[in-house]
Amino acid sequence: MIRKFRIGNPIETDSVVKDIEITNGEIPYFKEDAGTKSLFIELDQEDKVFGLGETIRGMNKRGWIYTSNNADDPNHTEDKRSLYASQNFFVITSKSRTFGVYIDTPGTVTFDIGYSKFNELTISFEDYDFDIYIIEGPFEGEEKEVKGVVKEFRSIIGRSYIPPRWAFGYGQSRWSYFTAAEVREVADKYDEAGIPLDMIYLDIDYMERYKDFTVDDKAFPDFKEFVSEMKNRGIHLVPIIDAGVKIEDGYDVYEEGVEKDYFVKKEDGERLVAAVWPGRVHFPDFLNDEARAWFGNKYKVLLDQGIDGFWNDMNEPAIFYTEDHLKEVFDKIEEYKDKNLDINSFFAFKDLVGSIDNNDSDYKRFYHEYKGQKIRHDKVHNLFGYNMTRAAGEAFERLSPDERILMFSRSSYIGMHRYGGIWCGDNKSWWSHLLLNIQQMPALSMCGFLYSGADVGGFGADTTEDLLLRWIAFGIFTPLFRNHSAMGTRKQELYRFESVDKFKKLVELRYALLPYLYSEFMKAALRDEMLFAPLSFEYDDERSGEVEDQLLLGESIMLAPVYKQNETGRYVYLPEDMKMIRFRAYDDYDEEVLSAGDHYVKADLGEVLVFVRKGHVLPLAKPENRTDKVSADSLKYICYEADSDNYELYTDDGISRIK
Ligand code: MIG
């Protein structure tokens, strides 16, 4: 059962696609306090709270405070409240009650989940205008209420984005590969090492001075030819697109945007001048239908050159500075000049300069034409990245009506999950961020962002070989499986390391798992189900509710990754008897049935633990160096008290759009 309540006059987000009548009367479970613009609920000692999509901290969100306010923040530390996403769906669940809550409003929302008081959950709003959906059972044919809640929620927000099957391959990325020769070298090195690869990503430096939809033709002469050369060897090039459009005379995207009046403007009607990579830019008004269609059509420039996948970046939007704010800062600096800066003025001065980028005041300087109204950006801030990706997704339906296009975004809001996946932004090469990646996946599944993953190996900071081995050993299970790293950090292409053979076997295992991963992904997308789930979504015992470093993937398996340095094994909790597979390679593994309870299990670097659930089956294919060669014809099945026809394999051509 879903009930929808409306408070005030919320701005429509298009996240819910199903018509649901508004229920009048009191919101169940919550107490309202219009004075403090908040909703409040008392939590029972046993209540657990799952959800909120891409955030920091654990699977159970209890004990921290989270703010939906999409932020370009590359430091995903425990003290943060916001990352790049606003995915305001969560469930409260215990033995005695289970219900889901979706807060639909594009502005800033704060979820204090037992932070101020352990037994209280408070949702507070900057603007007291929102729709709230309360979802609860009983659900027919669903024995687990919590799964029923998620499924019901997913059924109202529309089907999750489905990428082409090749996007389940392994991708190598770097900020940046600067030339065609460098890209070719990456492909060659992978092929020489025999490590499977399907994608190489192009970061901002492929463009001509960071102008969207251009290609630097000195670095990439005859780009179209190069794209097809790579495609002929089975490798897809996936370029980045940034939100800001460079201000430059003669640049068609800029000139058309000005002429058609598609860029965001300030109160006085002047176009906002902000700065990002290219220096000064204008932001397209992705919230305006016409501007969105126009920007979306620009992807054609690259589609026409054979490109079939993209990643959308900087779409919170990230702002280095706006011209107006910069001027204010310089004026202020003028005041400080020649002064004796004391403790107060010195820190004020330092703050002033240190807070130029992504400054809150800048998000109040410009407006959107959204659904026939002029709306100040901060009121709809969390919809910006969503609508950039929607621009692309809607355009792909027109420009590539038959074939799926790969698309994922950095910033997001629920609703965007219909047009693309996400990557989890600028994480670091830290062990704690491998754990964070593990913990983020179930929450992303809940919110419909199935085609997702983090930068494997870590984006910022220098990786280490053992971290990369462990991270790859987890990444082989995430739909988006991309090794990406930042400029200035240690290079982390797999062929650079001593353990190249271990890396090869791990990535091969991914390709062997492809029929399973693709089947589970497709079933989750088509049936509004979870791909990754916390243990307690399947098992009722108390311990399962507290496991934060194991997770279920699809119907058959549980994962228990090793995520600590210098450990060659770990404790694993089994809610029921399971068959443990310790893979050294797709064709080299041992099997052991372990009984329910706690076990210490060994898993050396390069080894992967997979636990097959009772009554379930894990199909394995013979790996190949490209996804399109992996066939479901000669599958091998690992079964635990089941036989191979208990497994429902999903196959299709991997590219046609699914109606
Ligand atoms: O401010 O394009 O998250 O993946 O490599 C950095 C350069 C801008 C941020 C993205 C990252 C990408 C980087 N971008």
Indicate the pLDDT class of residue 251, thresholds 50, 70 and 90. Answer: very high
If you measure from the C-alpha of residue 69 to the centroid of ligand 1, how many angstroms do you get, rounded to a whole number?
A: 19
Position 38 pLDDT exceeds 80: yes
Residue list, ligand 1 pocket, CB within 6 Å: 175, 203-204, 240, 313-314, 410, 425-426, 459, 484
The predicted model gives 319-341 an average pLDDT of 93
CA atoms within 13 A on the CB side of 216: 16
pLDDT digits (tens, 9 = 90+) for 424-450: 999 999 999 999 999 999 999 999 999
| Ligand 1 nearest atom to the CA of residue 173, by list position | 5
Pocket test residue of 203, 209, 482 for ligand 1, highest count of atoms within 8 A of CB = 203
Whether residue 386 is predicted with pLDDT greater than 90 in this model: the reply is: yes
Residue 43 has pLDDT above 80, yes or no: yes
Helix H, strand E, coil C: the string for 239-255 is EEEECCEECCCCCHHHH
Structure tokens at 372: 């026939």
Q: Supply the residue whose CA is at minimum distance from atom 8 of ligand 1.
A: 314
Coil, strand or helix: which one is 170? strand
Taking the C-alpha atoms of residue 362 and residue 391, their distance in angstroms, rounded to an integer, is: 23
Q: From ligand 1's centre to the CA of 564, what distance in Å?
A: 27
606-612: average pLDDT: 98
Residue range 195-212, pLDDT digits in tens = 999 999 999 999 999 999
pLDDT of residue 486: 98
Give the pTM.
Answer: 0.98
Extract the tokens encoding 89.
């769906």
**Residue of 76, 173, 314 best suited for mutating to test ligand 1, as the one with most atoms within 8 Å of CB:** 314
Kindly give the number of the ligand 1 atom that is closest to the alpha carbon of 486. 5
Cα 277 to ligand 1 centre (Å): 10
Which of 56, 53, 59 shows the shortest CA–CA distance to 534? 59
CA distance 534 to 59: 7
The per-residue pLDDT for 140 is 85
Cβ atoms 611, 591 nearer than 8 A: no
What is the distance in A from the centroid of ligand 1 to the CA of 424? Answer: 11
Q: What is the DSSP string of 310-376?
A: EEEESTTT--SEEHHHHHHHHHHHHHHTTS---HHHHHHHHHHHHT-TT-GGGGGS-EEEETTEEEE
Task: State how far the Cα of 262 lies from the Cα of 265, in Å rounded to an integer.
Answer: 9
Mean pLDDT for 629-641 is 95
> Which of the 8 DSSP states describes residue 615?
T
The minimum-distance atom of ligand 1 relative to the CA of 410 is 3
Pick 435 or 343 by higher pLDDT: 435
pLDDT of 141 > 90? The answer is: no
Q: Which atom of ligand 1 is least distant from the CA of 425?
A: 3
Token pair, residue 214, equals: 């251009």
Mean per-residue pLDDT, 459-484: 98
Angstrom CA distances, 5 to 19, 41, 148, stand at: 13, 16, 20
Residue nearest to atom 6 of ligand 1 (CA): 314
Q: What is the mean pLDDT of residues 99-119?
A: 98
Nearest to 507 by CA among 221, 270, 254, 193: 193
3-state helix, strand, coil in the chain (%, to 5): 30, 25, 45
Per-residue pLDDT reduced to its tens digit, 253-263? 999 999 999 99
User: In this structure, which residue's CA is closest to atom 5 in ligand 1?
Assistant: 175
Give residue 313 CA to ligand 1 midpoint distance, Å: 7
Q: What does the pLDDT read at residue 632?
A: 87
Distance 391 CA to ligand 1 centre (A): 20
Q: What's the CA-to-centroid distance between 224 and ligand 1, angstroms?
A: 24
> Cα(203) to centroid of ligand 1, in Å?
8
Angle between helices 145-157 and 431-446 (to 10 degrees): 70
Please report the DSSP string for 125-136 in residue order.
ESSS-EEEEEEE
Residue 231 phi, psi (nearest 5): -65, -35
- Give the ligand 1 atom nearest the CA of 313: 10
Residue 420 in this model has a pLDDT that exceeds 80: yes
Q: What percent of the chain has pLDDT over 90?
A: 97
Q: In this model, does residue 142 exceed pLDDT 80?
A: no
Pocket perturbation via mutation, ligand 1, pick of 315, 426, 428 by most ligand atoms within 8 A of CB = 426
The answer, yes or no, to whether residue 398 has pLDDT greater than 90, is yes
Q: What is the largest CA-CA distance in the chain?
A: 81
Cα of 179 vs centre of ligand 1, distance in Å, is 18
Protein residue with its CA nearest to atom 1 in ligand 1: 314
Work out the mean pLDDT of the chain and round it to a whole number. Answer: 97
Ligand 1 centroid, distance to 214 Cα (angstroms): 18
Distance 174 CA to ligand 1 centre (A): 10
Ligand 1 atom nearest the C-alpha of 311 is 4
pLDDT given at position 445: 98
For ligand 1, the distance from its centroid to the CA atom of residue 152, given in whole angstroms, is 35
> Which of 1-5, 150-154, 277-281, 334-338 is the least confident region?
334-338
Q: Which positions ≥6 away from 523 have C-beta within 8 Å? A: 529, 554, 555, 648, 650
**Atom nearest to 203 CA in ligand 1:** 2
Is the pLDDT reported for residue 143 higher than 80? no
**Which residue, judged by its Cα, is nearest atom 13 of ligand 1?**
175
User: Among 233-237, 334-338, 516-520, which is the least confidently predicted range?
Assistant: 334-338
